[in-house]
Amino acid sequence: MPNKARAWIPAYLVLAAIWGCSFYFMKLGLESLTPAGVAFGRIVLGLLTLLVFSAATKTKLAPRSVWKPLFLTALLVATLPWLAFAFGETHISSALAGIINGATPLVTLIATLLVFSEERPTPRRMVGLGIGFIGVLIVVGIWQGLGSGTWIGIAACVIAITCYGFSFPYMRRHLTGGPNASTLSPLALATGLLIMATIQITPIAVVTGFTVSSIGLPTVF
């Protein structure tokens, strides 16, 4: 394999490790925080980090013309899925939540076929869809019988990846691939999404509460 063809592999592995570890850290956070508290912490800490980068690079925030699609995208890509995953992990293991998250491309394909009329369900795509669906059933072990609590956790995680699945084609149409694409840098887009997500998650966390016990070191880390 040429060096250029392999150049993406290290970054991909680092991203996969970071993304996968997030489910373990959510589980740790739930020792002291409510699901809304976990989602709030992820969103706000992410926003603060991006605001620092935006200030350091003098990146302008998203213009008002994209606030509406930003708001809906933030709901689908951050607020609802992060809340649902955190709630789901109160009933299932972080490993199972991470495995279910691996089905996101499957849901994204379904959403893309539904949202984009120009995308046609070719035989190859349908075969891939079927294999992916069977793979999810095998990993979850659906035929072995699951407790009611487990079903609740799985359902919450499925809701989360469904939000992800519909957020990507929506974002492609209205933000990254639409007329607004030239006005939004990746940093401005990410920062705008977390600003909107902060607005959305804050009242939820205030109503449901942030913590269930005193915050210990595992939660802090």
* pLDDT number for residue 196: 97
- The pTM of this model reads 0.82
* pLDDT number for residue 201: 97
In this structure, are residues 157 and 85 in contact, taking their beta carbons and an 8 Å threshold? yes
pLDDT in tens, 42-65: 999 999 999 999 999 999 988 888
| Average pLDDT over every residue of 91-98 | 86
Percent of the chain whose predicted confidence (pLDDT) is above 90: 39
Greater pLDDT, 26 or 48 = 48
Greater pLDDT, 210 or 76 = 76
In this structure, are residues 62 and 182 in contact, taking their beta carbons and an 8 Å threshold? no
The yes-or-no verdict on residue 13 having pLDDT over 70 is yes
Greater pLDDT, 221 or 149 = 149
Q: What is the pLDDT confidence band of residue 127, given thresholds at 50, 70 and 90?
A: confident
* pLDDT number for residue 8: 65
* pLDDT number for residue 4: 58
Q: Compute the mean pLDDT over every residue in the chain, rounded to the nearest whole number.
A: 82
Residue 60 carries which side chain, given as an amino acid letter?
K
* pLDDT number for residue 2: 55
pLDDT in tens, 149-182: 688 998 999 999 999 999 988 888 888 876 666 6
Half-sphere exposure in the Cβ direction for 9 (13 Å, CA): 7
